[in-house]
């Protein structure tokens, strides 16, 4: 009984001593974790192509420096604002898919919740690519998570949708030409 009382009295002091910012952190295998990501964030911000920024994340993991929210936001910014994945564009590359991969890694692998900055990079890319339908989904997802998207980006997304409707490009042309499934294409000479 006396041991329990002494343990209860010591525990708060002991826990505070090891929860200070100066305390070393260790991973599951007992290796020391380096929490200083500032040099990696600076490296990411200098990358010309977003594949290079992804390589910095790999380097961080190899050096046991887990990415934090600031690091992931720097990566999302690079994906959003660089021309391409590599110096030679990759056929079928999608910045949106790359960003969704980053958001998934943040949340599911590292338990870091994307914030308004994270989501606004995604929305900014969708607006610049004139992907207004995906923009609407991103806006709805943000609002569902109680994250308010930049009003300017919402307005620009709506303008993209209105322009597409005015130009009659709001409906994918590949679906316009596609006959219904029950349509007899041979009888109609198609």
Q: The whole model's pTM is what? A: 0.76
pLDDT digits 0-9 by tens, 17-37: 444 555 788 877 888 888 899
Stretches where the chain sits below pLDDT 70 are 1-22, 172-190
Q: Which residues of 129-150 are buried (b: 16+ CB within 10 A; e: fewer)?
A: ebbbebbeebbeebeeeebebb
Specify the pLDDT at position 5: 47
CB atoms under 10 Å from CB of 34, counted, come to 14
From the list 177, 76, 183, 72, the residue with the least C-alpha distance to 121 is 76
């Amino acid at each position: 009984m006396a041991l329990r009382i002494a343990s209860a009295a010591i525990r708060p002091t002991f826990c505070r001593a090891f929860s200070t910012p100066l305390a070393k952190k260790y991973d599951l295998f007992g290796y020391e974790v380096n929490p200083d990501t500032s040099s990696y964030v600076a490296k990411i911000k200098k990358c010309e192509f977003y594949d290079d920024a992804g390589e910095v994340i790999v380097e961080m993991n190899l050096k046991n420096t887990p990415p934090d929210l600031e690091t992931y936001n720097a990566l999302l910014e690079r994906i959003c604002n660089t021309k391409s994945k590599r110096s030679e564009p990759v056929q079928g590359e999608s910045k949106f898919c790359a960003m969704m991969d980053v958001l998934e890694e943040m949340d599911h692998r590292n338990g870091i919740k994307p914030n308004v900055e994270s989501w606004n990079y995604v929305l900014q890319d969708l607006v610049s690519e004139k992907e207004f339908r995906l923009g609407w989904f991103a806006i709805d997802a943000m609002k569902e998570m109680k994250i308010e998207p930049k009003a300017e980006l919402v307005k620009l997304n709506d303008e993209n949708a209105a322009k597409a409707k005015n130009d009659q490009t709001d409906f994918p042309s590949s679906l316009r030409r596609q006959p219904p499934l029950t349509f007899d294409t041979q009888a109609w000479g198609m």
